[in-house]
Structure 1
Amino acid sequence: MTRPPAFAQQITFLYAEDPAACRRFYGEVLGLPLVQDQGFAAIFAVGAGHRGFLGVVQARGPREVTDPRREGGVVVTLVTPEVAAWHDHLAAAGVPIEAPPRHAAAAGITHFFFRDPAGYLLEIQRFDRPDWPEPG
């Protein structure tokens, strides 16, 4: 069986009851560039090369774990070698951080968690292991 071509890009859509607050958070606090505003959805680029994106969309209702089209059910991990710098930036911006950065030896990462205005759990992470692919 012949496999189709590899995927060229990826978008994770986050559903929020207050999408305006999330748009401000991703655009102003995290500094992600807005690449498309579709009215009902705002799509931000994550990283160089326009390969990964986060979209913020109006939720159909409050969080319900059983329906992935509502708030919840995902952890967004942003990978950077500058974990401590991001921790300091977010703390200075008043973003509630669950715990300071820590090294998780079993996974070979350094990371910390925080939440966006809609309650999504986000993680800033660095891979401390040589077998993680470099961005390209």
Structure 2
Amino acid sequence: MTAPFDQQITFLYAEDPAPSWRFYEEVLGLVLAQDQGTCRIYAPAPGGRAFLGVCRARGPRVTDNPRVQGGAIVTFVVHDVEGWHARLVAAGVETATKPSFSEAYRVTSFFFRDPAGYTLEVQRFERPDWPAPARA
């Protein structure tokens, strides 16, 4: 049996990626790990195991519904969900929801969109069986 993967990258695509790059760098404060010209890869958490790439799209988006086949929701896991909500609202980001608890999933979270229309979520697990993040 092969070992688990060493790293993971999720790629998002935008017809005009510059506003998304500014959003991820300036509003969310993600660390730029690599600039490839038409694609920038960010490190959302310390440790160098998971990354988020934002690249120039080759065509327009087909649907804004993230819960259909081919859709995506990018979730950032953090303890201070309420603090992140306040930070984003103060930065002028329109959130779809306020932080709320989901009994079905036992998480507290809220949703918003990036400049390219991707659905993003900030979430805290409210369950002891979720693995704690490694600290750098």
2 CA distance for matches of 1:97 and 1:80?
17
Which runs of 5 or more structure 2 residues have no equivalent in the other structure? Answer: 64-69
Find the counterpart in structure 1 of residue 105 from structure 2.
Answer: 107
Secondary structure at the aligned position of 2:51 is classed as strand
Find the counterpart in structure 2 of residue 90 from structure 1.
Answer: 88
Find the counterpart in structure 2 of residue 51 from structure 1.
Answer: 49
Which runs of 5 or more structure 1 residues have no equivalent in the other structure? Answer: 66-71
Find the counterpart in structure 1 of residue 18 from structure 2.
Answer: 20
Equivalent of residue 133 in structure 1, options 128, 131, 134: 131
Count of residues in Structure 1 that have an aligned counterpart in Structure 2? 128
1 CA distance for matches of 2:107 and 2:55?
30
1 CA distance for matches of 2:90 and 2:51?
25
User: Shift of residue 99 of structure 1?
Assistant: 1.2
Runs of 4+ in 1 over 6 A off after TM superposition: none
1 CA distance for matches of 2:50 and 2:26?
18
User: Shift of residue 29 of structure 1?
Assistant: 0.4
Using the size of structure 1 for normalisation, the TM-score is 0.91
2 CA distance for matches of 1:79 and 1:42?
21
User: Shift of residue 106 of structure 1?
Assistant: 1.6
Find the counterpart in structure 2 of residue 79 from structure 1.
Answer: 77
Find the counterpart in structure 1 of residue 67 from structure 2.
Answer: none
Secondary structure at the aligned position of 1:99 is classed as coil
User: Shift of residue 105 of structure 1?
Assistant: 1.3
2 CA distance for matches of 1:101 and 1:128?
13
2 CA distance for matches of 1:40 and 1:18?
10
Equivalent of residue 115 in structure 2, options 105, 114, 117: 117
Secondary structure at the aligned position of 1:21 is classed as helix
CA-based RMSD of the aligned residues comes to 1.0
Secondary structure at the aligned position of 1:134 is classed as coil
2 CA distance for matches of 1:118 and 1:10?
22
